[in-house]
Amino acid sequence: MRNDEILKLMEDFWKDEVIATELYDFLSKKVSGDKSKLFKEISEMERRHAIIWNEVCEKAFSVKFKLGIRLRIKKFFMKLLAAIMPLTFMVYYLESDERSAVLNYSKLLKEFKDDPQLYSIIEGVIKDEIDHEARLIDMVLEEVSYINKAKDAIYGMTDSLVEILALVIGLAGVMKNPILIGLAGLISSIGGTFSMTSGAYLSTKSQNDIYEGKIKEIDVKEAIDIDSLKNDLKNALIEKGTESSAAEGIIRIIGNDSKVLKNLVRSLSIEETLSNPKDVAVTTGIYYILGAMPAVIPFFAAYALSMGSLTAVIISVMSAAIVSFFSGIFIAVLSGISIKKKAFENVLIIMGAAVATYFIGTAARVFLGIEI
């Protein structure tokens, strides 16, 4: 990498550490006992890491980072998110961040391999992150059923919202009576619920079989072939974009700690999760039909209040956009992706689907003479 790329990478690391310091400290005050102690410990670790990145940059590039207004705003919004999100969700999100940190920090091992002092400092940071990421994984595993249920609920609701909104908005282009549009949306959502429920049940059973097979394989390797487990971790790291030499450096840091090896292999290479098929089916079905309500209810309300279908369309789209925005935040937290990007992406999809289907319906009425 060029010097400017390395510097930008270190600045990103420093910003992440500054935000993580505040988040873990905030979470430590929301809980008690061992969890509070762990969060406080990680907060102090992240604070030390932020100082380290500043010192490394000053030594290598004569640059020192400063806390700007954008970073202060981001810190505020992340703490606000931590205040309103369930603790389990935030732990899951932070565990994903710790895993990403391990992968990203490893990129610098190659860049500073000829500077023993800086190499040792970065190696120490990676070792800290691996240790705490492993402990967060243990905490997440305790709540995995709750997390899975939340995922099923949010995805089921989001799918329904997009599909049913597109239907009712499209019909609004050719129908004047809002009650007919509302009934069509309700009937469609009920039919979709049965379809989603059966599909979720069968899909979950298949995922469970795959998951259990992979877990058994990892457990066997942990018990009788630790070198094979190390090789699996190396391959998983390389697939995530880590250089081969950096992956070997991470494995050397971990050593023969089989529990850490196993946890990292699981978190990096197994996408499936173990869930109860019946619970998944019920959760998906319930939230599928609930997700349709913001799109459907405005048309029943418009009929009851003697309003036109266009008014119902506007209310329906706005309601769906609000629900979609917040569901995007939850999806981002549970997926470890950019919160802002996912939330606004959801809203744009909703708005795009609404506009497109309304114009299709209107075109059918104008050019084909279809009107009900």
Q: Note the pLDDT tens digit of each residue in 191-242.
A: 888 888 888 888 878 777 777 777 788 887 777 778 888 888 888 888 877 7
Collapse the DSSP code of 101 into the 3-class scheme (helix H, G, I; strand E, B; otherwise coil) and give the result: helix
Do 166 and 357 meet the contact criterion of CB atoms below 8 Å apart?
yes
Q: Does one domain contain both 163 and 82?
A: no
Collapse the DSSP code of 2 into the 3-class scheme (helix H, G, I; strand E, B; otherwise coil) and give the result: coil
Residue at a domain's end among 142, 157, 185: 142
% the chain with pLDDT above 70: 92
Q: Does one domain contain both 69 and 166?
A: no
What does the H/E/C string look like for 299-337? HHHHHHCCCCHHHHHHHHHHHHHHHHHHHHHHHHHHHCC
Q: Does one domain contain both 28 and 114?
A: yes
Q: Does one domain contain both 46 and 157?
A: no
Report if residue 331 sits inside a domain.
yes
Task: Count structural domains, the chain.
Answer: 2
Please give the residue range of the domain that contains residue 181. Answer: 145-205+277-367
User: Which run of H or E residues covers position 291?
Assistant: helix 277-304
Question: Nearest-CA neighbor of 264 among 136, 365, 106?
Answer: 136
Q: Does one domain contain both 124 and 173?
A: no
Question: Which pLDDT score is estimated for 369?
Answer: 62
Q: Does one domain contain both 188 and 319?
A: yes
CATH number at residue 92: 1.20.1260.10
Q: Indicate whether 372 pLDDT > 80.
A: no
| Residue pointed to by tokens 């505020």 | 76
When mean pLDDT is compared over 136-150, 164-178, 295-309, the highest value belongs to 295-309
As a whole number, mean pLDDT of residues 124-128 equals 82
For CA atoms 105, 109, 111, 117, give the dihedral sign: positive
Overall pTM surpassing 0.85 (yes/no):
no
Q: Does one domain contain both 119 and 181?
A: no
As a whole number, mean pLDDT of residues 26-55 equals 88
Do 242 and 259 meet the contact criterion of CB atoms below 8 Å apart?
no
Q: Does one domain contain both 325 and 196?
A: yes
pLDDT band at 297 (very low <50, low <70, confident <90, very high): very high
Do 201 and 283 meet the contact criterion of CB atoms below 8 Å apart?
no
